[in-house]
């Protein structure tokens, strides 16, 4: 993530490395592994979705636990979204409020009366607008996948039993429904109403569809090999990346076809999960990330 952020600021506005690592991390919650060796390796990648701890611990009553599927009971006690994705949720809420404030501020200083009275301030705002916007977009895309994934996990267990505090369970169900619906609406707005380049519109659409499809596949493949269907999404995502750039880049370079090679390595890494070999997964993961960084 430290390497991806400055690249994103420079205009390499694709999220392939973080998306790849997050996909592997989410596999840890549904992969069948009797020894839990591979599961533990994959769970270490939770840093890719900012899984650094439970920032909402104060909201949980003592001994709170809810019915969960897959490996959640072993890894995180349960799949409550406040417990497993508290930091992405908090950051998304902050980014949403900041976005509204900045849009209101941009409208205000865009007025002719304000522009004429403070031209220096207007020039400064114009200079920092792009890095601020790209930073917010980077956080938005980084947090979208974990929030959609954990929301779908929660929604798939809507009627699950919650011990000690069932009201919290219902509140989290509503939060998850709002998150999924909110991301869908934001994507519709980005594609059809936001004034940005066509390549950004299609990238945003591709990002959301990839997140939604992969999340659904992983949620429905608990302790089964159905997760290999994610390979189809990886292939379509890479193909869309190349097609969009062939169509809209003025100076398209054949170097962009490396994206297809990284997709092959992503697929290989997913297949290697069948071997339950942490060493093979480490090598394949590092090689894939290296190719993506070079690209």
pLDDT tens by residue, the chain, 295 residues: 777 777 777 766 567 889 999 999 999 999 988 888 889 889 999 988 988 878 888 888 888 888 888 899 889 888 889 999 999 999 999 988 988 887 777 666 665 555 555 566 566 666 677 788 888 888 888 999 999 999 999 998 887 777 777 888 899 999 999 999 999 999 999 888 887 778 888 888 999 999 999 999 999 998 898 999 999 999 999 999 888 888 877 777 778 888 899 999 999 999 999 888 888 999 999 999 999 888 7
- Please tell me the total count of domains within the chain: 1
Q: Of 109, 97, 139, 117, which is closest to residue 9 (Cα–Cα)?
A: 139
Q: Which residues pair with 66 in a beta bridge?
A: 162
Report how far residue 5's alpha carbon sits from residue 10's, in angstroms, rounded to the nearest whole number: 9
Residue range of the domain that includes 93: 4-294
Report how far residue 119's alpha carbon sits from residue 122's, in angstroms, rounded to the nearest whole number: 5
């Amino acid at each position: 993530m430290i390497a991806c952020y400055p690249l994103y600021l420079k205009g390499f506005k694709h999220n392939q490395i973080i998306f790849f690592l997050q996909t592997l991390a989410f596999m840890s919650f549904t992969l069948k592994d009797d020894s839990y060796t591979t599961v533990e390796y994959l769970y270490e990648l939770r840093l890719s979705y900012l899984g650094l701890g439970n920032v909402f611990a104060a909201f949980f009553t003592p001994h709170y636990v809810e019915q969960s599927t897959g490996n959640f009971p072993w890894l995180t006690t349960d799949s409550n979204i406040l417990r497993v994705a508290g930091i992405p949720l908090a950051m998304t809420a902050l980014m949403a409020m900041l976005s509204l404030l900045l849009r209101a501020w941009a409208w205000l200083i865009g007025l002719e009366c304000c522009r004429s009275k403070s031209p220096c301030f207007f020039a400064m705002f114009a200079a920092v607008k792009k890095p601020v916007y790209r930073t917010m977009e980077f956080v938005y895309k980084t947090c979208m996948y974990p929030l959609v994934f954990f929301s779908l996990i929660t929604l798939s267990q809507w009627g699950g039993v919650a011990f000690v505090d069932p009201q919290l369970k219902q509140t989290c169900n509503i939060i998850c429904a709002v998150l999924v619906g909110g991301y869908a609406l934001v994507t519709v707005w980005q594609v059809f109403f936001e004034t940005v380049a066509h390549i950004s519109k299609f990238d945003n659409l591709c990002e959301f569809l990839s997140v939604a499809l992969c999340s659904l596949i992983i949620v429905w493949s608990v302790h089964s090999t159905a997760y290999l269907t994610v390979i189809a999404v990886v292939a379509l995502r890479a193909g869309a990346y190349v097609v969009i750039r062939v169509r809209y880049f003025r100076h398209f370079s054949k170097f962009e076809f490396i994206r297809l090679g990284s997709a092959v390595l992503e697929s290989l890494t997913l297949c290697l999960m069948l071997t339950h070999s942490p060493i093979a997964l480490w090598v394949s993961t590092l090689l894939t990330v290296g190719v993506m960084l070079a690209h």
